[in-house]
Amino acid sequence: MATVGLTEPEARERHEKITIYKTDFTPMRHALSSHGVTTAMKLVCAGPEQRVVGIHLIGDNVDEMLQGFAVAVKMGATKADFDSTIAIHPVSAEELVTMKEPQPDTAMHHGIDSGIEWKEAG
């Protein structure tokens, strides 16, 4: 598990408009295995410019993956900055720069940043 920045509840307390992007998938290296590991990712974006204020990951090697994205969050990167980044393929980290559809706007998206199992919260 790896996390940087605000959780969704923290972001909702501090910002008026929050947009959430989530994905879960089986990484390519586990795709043919019956014991495949699932990876889950969540971007928490704030404001009309969708500044990325939190990233939350569960899965293999996500701690290593998050280091570069932590720099982007600290520098104030926006979702548009992530979208304009050329994804490294084929690696799980590319999912963070290829998520396109925000989650429906609800009061709270339970998930990996709130300590609730993301599969059960779906």
Going by C-beta distance under 8 Å and a sequence separation of 6 or more, which residues neighbour residue 18?
A: 8, 11, 12, 44, 45, 46
CA gap 21, 89 in Å, rounded: 20
Does residue 30 carry a catalytic annotation? no
How far is the C-alpha of 116 from the C-alpha of 103, rounded, in Å? 17
From the candidates 30, 35, 56, 89, give the one annotated as an active-site residue. 89
Active site residues: 89
